[in-house]
Structure formats: C-alpha cells, structure tokens
C-alpha cells in the first residue's frame, strides 16, 4: 500500500485548479477522511453538550426530588451549564496546548475517550455534586477535541477549500443535537439511559489512532523548535506576550464569548419559548415538554444546520469579517421577532428555523477563522484559547441569563430579547480583527 501523501503535496495538487473550479475538486481521499473523522468527533461533542439541555428537567427533578416545574430546576440547570462552560475552557486551553506539543492524533484520541467515559458514568450519578463533577470532566474533553479537530481540518485542506471544509466540520454538530433530541425523546423520564449512549464515541478513538497522520506543517514547526531554539510548541507565553498573537487571541476570545453566551442564553431558549407558548394554550405540561423538545431539537436545529453550512460559502464570497458582521445583524433582528410574532405553536415552528439559522450560523465561523489567526506552533493553542476562553466569559452570561429569566414577573420573551443585545457587541469586536480571506496560514 503506498504511503499517504503529505499535506503539502495534497495542497499543491488542489491549488493548481482554476478559481472557477468547484472547491471540492482536487480534494484528496485522505483529506475527506480527516474531515469525516474530525466531524464524527464533533458530532459526539455536540451530543454530550446537548444531552443535558434536553434531559435536564427530568434529571434535576429526579435528583432534587421535586416536581418538574420547581424553580430550583431552572436555577441548577443554568449553574450546571455554567460549570460545563468552565470545564470546556479548562479542557480547551489544556488540550489545545498539548495538541501543539504532543501532536493532533494522540490528543484527539484522549479528548474523545475522556468525554465518552465521563458521560457514561453520569448513568450512576445520584446527587448534585456528582453531576457537576462529571459535567465538568465531560466538558474538558469536549472543549479539547474541538480545538484539535478544527486545527487539523484547517491544516490538511488546501486554501481554496479550507473555509468550506471547516464550515462543514462545525455544521455536523447539528447531527449531535438531533441525536441528543431523539435520545431524550426516546428515553423520556428515564434520563440515565441517554447518558449511557455517550460511551459509544470511545470506539472512535480506534479509528483516530489508525488513520490520522500528523500534518507536515506541525512536524516541521516542531523540528524548527528543537533545532534552532525557535518559538516553543504550544507556548502560552508566546501566545500572550507576542504582540502579534496576543491581540488576536483576546479579540477572538471576545468574539467567541458573544456567540457562546448568546447560544446558551438565547438560542437554546427556543425550547423554553415553545414550552411556554404551549402551556399558555393549555397543553398538558408533559406533552408541552415533549413538543418543545421536538421544536428545538429537530425543527430549530434544521435551520441552525443550514446556517452553519452557509457560513463557509459566505466567508468565501464576502470575507470572514463581513460574513460575521451580517450574521450578527441578522441574529439581533430575528430574536424579538421570534419572541413576540408567533401566536400559535405552528407559527413558532415556522419561525424557529430562521431563528436557528441566524443565531447559530456564526459558530461555524469560529472553526474557519480562529485557526487562520495563528502560526503552526500555536494553531491549536490559539484556536483553543479563543473558542474555549470565550466559554469562561459566556459562563458569566449564562448565570446572568438564569437570574434575568427567573426574576419575579419577568416575561421570558422580554428576557430573551434583552439577552439578544449581545449580538451587536460582536460587530464591535470583529471590526478590530484582521481579514484572513485569501491569506495563507501564518507560519
């Protein structure tokens, strides 16, 4: 069997094609394989994150021994989501740096194994601190896997196909959300079995170990670091003290914080909006909860998936900065429309896909844009710092979101509309970041 071609040879072969050629022409089988493996890891990443959002009412009612509409469920639910964000930050920073030091392949395998095992152990959780600890450890694996996979896809694919491939990679998270929604609806109140399913991704580590090869660009950067005493691989010191990379790291973190904070405060509230509307119409609470899962986990997620898939082509056509700007503007506009315009469940189902498209589509941009901001020896470190550093800021937004939504007399629709004010902040942040369209990855 011939040895796999290096990523440099693959890139050169694809880029001899003319600009009018479809982006996928000339992409080698190994590059498609990397996209599939990275996407599979991210699908289960999303499953592990969303399964709690889907099952938290049953989980917390069971562990707290309270009714399903008890206010403590909402309070602890937001606290656990904040814990998940903090865990993702720790894992993203740690494993992003280790991916630059140890390599993409072993780090990806470790992170997948980590979130799989600790998700499965949630089956045995009987109290709040056990759930909190397990969610933190699951999040560490989730945050680390994304940083590694996003960097790997950016390094392996040729420049002309990079934005499309990275956008597809992030868009596959929709499959994870669908799996979580279907699992949540299938197990109903038996929430423990949904977490037991989370062990399945552990098998993916065998595929990673067998098929993934380290990018040549990463190996060359490591050789230079050893031979010439150049910048150290995965060095936070270099990332945060070098003026060129420091500004990009902190601005990228703020950009991610807007998207992640609005996701947990606004986007996932599509489920709560559906449930509240149904309850106002006199629907039985159990049936309302079931239909709300479908509205969010299936219907809204269809639009979200289309938004994620659309962001890559938008980046190619408009540039990274303009694509981010227009999507933030659209998200800001659609939030109050979704909150106040629909008067029936059917009307809400028609609006939710647009809501998902605009509020979640920007997230594909993080997988496209962040790896393009940093050099070979800091790519996973910087990417992880931006995306997962944004999680820690988003955690404070999530706690604030829970406080706002639980205020006495506060209308959920008004609370979500107020939280939608986060989106204009993204316009300010993106203004100060560089445009990377048609630019090579930094060396």
At 383, list the tokens. Answer: 């990417």
What mean pLDDT is predicted for residues 99-103?
Answer: 91
Non-local CB neighbours of 266 within 8 Å, separated by 6+ positions: 335, 359, 416, 419, 420, 422
pLDDT in tens, 404-426: 887 888 899 999 999 999 999 99
Q: Return the residue matching tokens 């999680």.
A: 391
In contact, 95 and 110? CB cutoff 8 Å: yes
What mean pLDDT is predicted for residues 354-377?
Answer: 94
In contact, 393 and 257? CB cutoff 8 Å: yes
pLDDT at 14 over 70: no
Tell me, what DSSP letter sits at residue 23?
A: T
pLDDT in tens, 245-293: 999 999 999 999 999 999 988 998 998 999 999 999 999 988 898 899 8
Residue 119 sits at φ, ψ, to 5 deg, of -70, -45
- 71 C-beta neighbours (distance < 10 Å), count: 9
Q: Where are the alpha helices (DSSP H) in 7-70?
A: 7-14, 29-64
**Alpha-carbon dihedral angle through residues 98, 101, 106, 112, given to the nearest 10 degrees:** 20
The CA radius of gyration of the chain, in Å to the nearest whole number, is 21
pLDDT at 10 over 80: no
- 134 C-beta neighbours (distance < 10 Å), count: 24
pLDDT of residue 4: 45
Whole-Å CA distances, 388 to 302, 380, 410 = 25, 11, 31
- Conformational region of residue 253, where left means phi above 0, alpha means psi within -120 to 50, and beta covers everything else: alpha
Higher pLDDT, 35 or 226: 35
pLDDT at 6 over 50: no
pLDDT of residue 376: 87
Q: For the chain, what are the domain ranges? A: 28-209+233-431
Non-local CB neighbours of 396 within 8 Å, separated by 6+ positions: 82
At 195, list the tokens. Answer: 């977490």
pLDDT in tens, 71-83: 788 788 878 877 8
Burial of 318 per CB tally in 10 Å (0-12, 13-18, 19+) = middle
pLDDT at 179 over 80: yes
Residue 7 pLDDT grade (very low, low, confident, very high; cuts 50, 70, 90) = low
Least confident of 105-109, 126-130, 173-177, 397-401: 397-401
At 166, list the tokens. Answer: 């990275």
pLDDT at 20 over 80: no
pLDDT in tens, 233-243: 888 999 999 99
Pick the CATH number of 28-209+233-431 from 1.20.1250.20, 3.30.1310.10, 3.40.50.2000, 1.10.10.10: 1.20.1250.20
Least confident of 151-155, 166-170, 285-289: 285-289
Nearest by Cα to 146 from 166, 121, 122, 118 = 166
pLDDT at 16 over 70: no
């Amino acid at each position: 069997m011939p040895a796999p071609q290096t990523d440099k040879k693959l890139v050169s072969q694809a880029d001899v094609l003319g600009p009018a050629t479809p982006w996928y022409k000339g992409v080698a089988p190994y590059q498609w394989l990397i996209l599939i493996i990275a996407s599979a890891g991210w699908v289960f990443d999303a499953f592990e994150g969303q399964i709690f959002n889907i099952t938290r009412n049953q989980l917390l009612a069971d562990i707290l021994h309270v009714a399903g509409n008890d206010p403590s469920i909402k309070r602890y639910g937001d606290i656990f989501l904040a814990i998940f964000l903090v865990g993702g930050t720790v894992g993203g920073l740690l494993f992003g740096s280790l991916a630059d030091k140890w390599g993409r392949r072993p780090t990806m395998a470790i992170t997948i194994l980590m979130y799989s095992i600790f998700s499965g152990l949630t089956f045995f959780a009987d109290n709040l601190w056990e759930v909190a600890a397990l969610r933190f450890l699951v999040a560490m694996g989730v945050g680390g896997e994304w940083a590694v996979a996003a960097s790997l896809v950016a390094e392996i694919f040729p420049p002309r196909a990079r934005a499309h491939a990275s956008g597809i990679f992030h868009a596959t998270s929709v499959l994870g959300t669908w799996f979580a929604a279907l699992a949540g609806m299938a197990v109903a109140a038996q929430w423990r079995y949904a977490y037991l399913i989370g062990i399945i991704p552990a098998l993916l580590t065998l595929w990673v170990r067998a098929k993934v090869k380290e990018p040549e660009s990463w190996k060359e950067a490591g050789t230079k670091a050893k031979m010439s005493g150049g910048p150290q691989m995965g060095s936070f010191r270099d990332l945060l003290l070098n003026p060129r990379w420091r500004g990009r790291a902190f601005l990228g973190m703020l950009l991610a914080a807007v998207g992640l904070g609005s996701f947990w405060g606004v986007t996932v509230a599509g489920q709560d909006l559906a449930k509240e509307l149904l309850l106002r119409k006199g629907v039985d609470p159990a049936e309302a909860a079931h239909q709300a899962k479908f509205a969010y986990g299936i219907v809204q997620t269809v639009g979200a998936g289309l938004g994620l898939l659309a962001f890559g082509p938008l980046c190619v056509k408009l540039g990274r900065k303009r694509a981010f700007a227009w999507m933030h503007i659209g998200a800001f506009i659609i939030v109050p429309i979704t909150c106040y315009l629909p008067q029936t469940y059917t009307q809400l189902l028609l609006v939710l896909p647009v809501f998902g498209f605009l509020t979640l589509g920007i997230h594909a941009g993080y997988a496209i844009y962040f790896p393009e901001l940093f050099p070979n020896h800091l790519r996973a470190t910087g990417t992880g710092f931006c995306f997962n550093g944004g999680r820690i800021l988003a955690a404070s937004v999530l706690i604030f979101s829970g406080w706002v939504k639980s205020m006495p007399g506060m209308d959920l629709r008004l609370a979500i509309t107020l939280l939608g004010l986060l989106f204009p902040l993204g316009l300010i942040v993106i203004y100060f970041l560089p445009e990377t369209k048609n630019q090579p990855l930094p060396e």
